[in-house]
Structure 1
Amino acid sequence: MKNLLPKNWQQPKLANVDTDGKWLMPPIVDLCGRLREPGHQSYGTLASEGRAARQNGILHIVLPPDTNPVLENGSLFKGLREKAYQDGSVYLHILGALTAGLKGEQPANLAGLKQGGAIGVTNARAGFDDDMVMLRTLEYAATCGLKVFFYPDEPSLSRSGVAHDGYIASFHGLAGIPWLAETIALSKQLLMVEETGIVAHFGQITCRTSVELIRWAKAKGLPITCDVAMHQLHLTDDDLEGYNTNAFVYPPLRSKTDQRALIAGLQDGTIDAICSHHEPLSSSAKQAPFGECVAGISNFDTFVSLGCQLVADGILTAEQLVEKICTNPAKIAGIKDYETIGGAVLIDPDLSWQVDKNTMLSSGKNTPFMGEKLTGKVVEIFF
């Protein structure tokens, strides 16, 4: 057995457990998982997605505020966290809305969000009314000592697109989303981080130039971290071939050049973490033509297998994988009781399984890996 638990971590009792060839690691911390409750229970619930997460080794989940209603009332957070644990046995870490209603027009009650236990604030993928609103709101967040989570996107460049702006989109007649939509927004946000002094995290970066900008900003000493979604490390826009709606996700799958840059950034520490970007959907949500259906990939069930593949391919060591999906995300999310809660996950990195509707625990079966054989699976959880 390869013991990947941090020093001083409480060791689980492994009597009568087959540990031969397996990895023992801390619980996974997911920096972005949409559980569809409140507001979209036809796609999933705290119960269904919580159970899927937990059985796949994911005990801690960061929830963005773009639910229905928007998460902008800090007094409601305690009840939501309690319900997530009661229904799904997972620990929810909530991001509050940076602006009222995520409309980008005026700041939300950031002081109230902090008092309610928000781990940070974000405007999700919604834009701002203008840059002055963004600047003043970030200054307010700085005075409250709140970390700001950015998901870089310039709506004027991306709003009509459904796929990466490249050959595949052009060949299929799909409206493209240029890489500039991400990097122009990222450049602006980095400058505002420097100006306001906020601590910031950049979620789900997808392209080569974003990696270069993050690398430059870190070298300059800006207080930032970033993550990439697991599927961006395994899929590219080539996987849209045949109008595969299960590969329709936002931000879009990028080119192989972008993917190579993401992998290099993961290896050299520019990219701190890997998130699931779990977005479960009903089968009907993916039945419309490409671009007219709902974007999103269900990722809880495949997350560990795809992580094991990174190790098998020599991209990361098992120890580095633990950093990217466990310890670094816990630090980014500010989970002070991560070690106190403890627990452990036992993974068989050589266990093969087939992805199908019966083996997936999530209510959402919307995955481009449907029907494939993957290797690596959680076999025991100790929580």
Structure 2
Amino acid sequence: MVAIHSVSFNYFDSNSYRNSTGIMAQKLKLPANADAMADAVSRVANMVRKLISEELSSKLITIKFDGASRHNRKILGINSQHLHKGKQVIRTLSMEEMTDRHTAVNLKDRIMHVLETYGLGIRHLYAAVTDQARNGIKCTELMRAEQDKVMAPTEHDTTADEVDGVYGDHITQEDHEDVAMDETVEGIISMVDDILQHGTAGCIEVIKCGAHSLNLVFKDALKGSPNSWLGTLRKEHVLKVAKMLDMLKEPVNPETEHSAPRVIDDFAAMLEEECGLPATEREEDVDLKLALINMANATTRLHHDTDIIKHWESKASDNKQLYELACVVLGAPISQVSVERCFSYIKLLLENHRLRMSNERLNDLMIIRCNRDLLPAAILKMQL
């Protein structure tokens, strides 16, 4: 009632409640006053946060953030979006008052703090949707720079690069002697190898809100044209996303936040040089590389009426890695309208008689209201 229908907490201390529904609560010996309801809201909100954390723990997500003023309170809204079982899933992560100036640095620090409360980090970000404001764009650039640092090559990665250089020269010499391979395909294979084996640069991209710029909507839509598979494959960004997805499944060193390095010894280097077996290339990487190349060369053009999400859902069992990559890309939104919708809900909660509501209480109510589809699961889990 409080979160969904904007009923005041004071209502549960009123005579009208006590003489109606409150009678049933007394018979059942349930606490049904304002303080008890406030405590219940806090516990339910925390359980919803826990469910969201479990849902997003192994995913690359796109975040959407924006700011608005309601009754002289500056609210920063943060949503996430991803694709799950063919449906777009939007989660409200935070709707908190921000008393600091909305500079790029402050925005980035607040966003990272919110992500940490859900057990997420910079490694989980695929893109960020913001409006045309310079501070929002700069904030995303700062997050990209931090992701670059977190995913920076380790000492073992450098060793792998040196070994691959020897292996690459060996193969190139044999190619000249035995068979002339197509230069375009060779270039693609080289790029895929480099990124899947050693690519550690961040992948966060800025998506400017389509609702603020219609031209960008058309531009983003045209970029997804099915006749541009080869052009898409050439873009390092798609391959970096695949690498990020792979690294999320690896154990993380809590001290450095780096994925556990793959040990490369002299024997492995010798095998790589003599047998052509890259020490750092796993079977999953080989499968993904072949799938990307095959998609570029053999995929037929889809009909313009094809539902692209259903198309990839039908291929989920063919190649799990490629399917997960497609879900990340297709799950990215083109606008931040969902954040604007949350701001409308805040207007209903912050009525004239509730302007002194605490920041924590407001955030709890918004978490419940904007993620109401998780309420049944949250309540059930609390009862277990």
Question: TM-score under structure 1 normalisation?
Answer: 0.24
More helix by share: 2
Larger radius of gyration: 2
TM-score, normalised with respect to structure 2: 0.24
* Structure with greater strand share of residues: 1
| More contact order relative to length (CA 8 Å, sep ≥ 6) | 2
